[in-house]
Amino acid sequence: MNRRTFIPDGVPVVEALARTTHLGVGAHPDDLPIMAYHGILSCYDRPHHWFTGVTVTDGAGSPRGGPYAGVDDAEMARLRAAEEVEAARIGKYAAAVLLGHRSAEVKDPSGPVAGELAEIIAATQPSIIYTHNLADRHDTHVAVAVRTIEALRLVGHRPDAVYGCEVWRDLDWLDDRVELDVSGDPQLATSLLGVYRSQIEGGKRYDLAVIGRRRANATFGMAKAVDQSSAVTYAMNLTPLAVSPGLEIADFVDDLLDRFASDVRTRLRRILNPGL
C-alpha cells in the first residue's frame, strides 16, 4: 500500500481535508468521475463547497489493450494514479487521496481499509458521501461500499446523505432511487472522463458509455412526463445504514430486492389477470 494525497491548490493537507463538504469514495481510478460527478459538479468553482475524492485501489489489474497491451501492473498503477491526479486538478478537488490498496485487501474484513476511511471521514466530516451501491456487479465495488459504511459507524459521523451510485449495475430497477441531476457543465464531464486514456485507448470507452447512461436515465426515468434534465445519475440511498448502526447491511439490501420482485410480480399478474 502506498498512500498519496494530492492537493490541487497547494494548501496544507489538514486544511484541505477540513474544508470538504462532499466526499467520494471509489474503488478504482476513474470511478469517481463516473459515479460521483454530482459531487464534483456541486463543488466546482463554488467557494464554500469542496469535493474530496478517495480512490481505494491502485487499479493495477485493469483490462488493457491497444497501446497499453504490454504495460505491466506496476506501470499501469503509476499511469492510473497520474490520471487520477489530473482529474483532481481539472475538477478542482479539495484533495485527492489515493490509498493504493490491492483489491484483496479491500475485500478482507480484517484489513486496514475501513480504519483508513474512518480517519479520512473524521478529518473531512462531509455532509454528503458518494460511494458504490450495494447491488453493484463488481466485488471490489461492493467491498468499498461496505468498508465505507463500516468507517462511518467507527467514527460515528452522521452525514446528511450517503449515496451508493451506479457503475457496474444500473439502478433503474430501484423504485425509491435517488435521481441526481448532473446536467450542468457537460464540458467538465467530458474533460474528466477523457483524462483516463489508459482505459479509453486501452479498449474501454467509459467516456461514451457514462454520458450515454446519464442521458438514458434522464429520458427513461419517467414514462409519462417530458424530460426534466439532460443527464441524471441514479443512486441507492445508503443514509439509513449510516445513521442506524443496528441496521444489518444484508437485511437492508434484501428489503430492496424483495420490493423490486414484488413490483414485477404484481404488475405481471395484473396484466395477466385484469379482472382480479
pTM of the entire structure? 0.95
**230 three-class SS:** coil
When pLDDT is averaged across residues 253-268 and rounded to a whole number, the result is 96
Rounded to 10 degrees, what is the CA torsion of 225, 211, 214, 8?
A: -130
**Of 189, 193, 166, 185, the residue nearest 177 (C-alpha):** 166
51-57: strand order across its sheet: 4-6, 95-101, 51-57, 22-26, 128-132, 161-165, 232-237, 178-181
In CATH, 4-245 is 3.90.1150.10: no
**Of 157, 95, 151, 155, the residue nearest 126 (C-alpha):** 157
Q: What is the tens place of the pLDDT at every residue in 96-108? A: 999 999 999 999 9
Q: What is the tens place of the pLDDT at every residue in 40-83? A: 999 999 999 999 999 999 988 887 888 888 888 899 889 999 99
Contact criterion met (CB below 8 Å) for 80 and 32: no
pLDDT band at 251 (very low <50, low <70, confident <90, very high): very high
Domain ranges of the chain: 4-245, 249-276
